[in-house]
Amino acid sequence: MESGLKDIFVQVEKYVMPIVSNDPSSPLSKDETRILALQHINRLNQKIGQLARGSKDNAGQLKILQTYVNRLTIGVKNDNIPQIRSSLTSARSLIDTVGHM
């Protein structure tokens, strides 16, 4: 069974939060954490695409969510902490709103 949207998002947060907090006790280097974060963000983007193809009812919300996730990707790649924070907050809020996915 494939992970749900919320489950994947939790994994994204797990690897993005050390980037945001600049946690020196993290066992991974910043580059390793960034790579893992981007891999999980990619999984999230793939899941959003899969859901969008399967359900036209939520297509509008999924497009908005994909925009937030794309902004998150850019923020992680450019180490733009304010953009990462706002994208995480926006994506989390929208995922909570459409929690049945």
pLDDT of residue 100: 52
Tokens for 25? Answer: 């006790």
Boundaries of every domain in the chain: 5-97
pLDDT of residue 99: 61
10-47: per-residue pLDDT in tens?
999 999 999 888 777 778 888 899 999 999 999 999 99
Put residue 55 in one of left, alpha, beta given phi > 0 → left and psi -120 to 50 → alpha.
Answer: beta
Asked if pLDDT for residue 61 goes beyond 80, the answer is yes
Q: Is 45 helix (H, G, I), strand (E, B) or coil?
A: helix
Q: Which residue, 91, 94, 100, 98, is CA-closest to 13? A: 91
63-76: per-residue pLDDT in tens?
999 999 999 999 99
77-101: per-residue pLDDT in tens?
999 999 999 999 999 999 988 765 4
H runs (alpha helix) in the chain: 5-21, 30-54, 59-78, 81-97
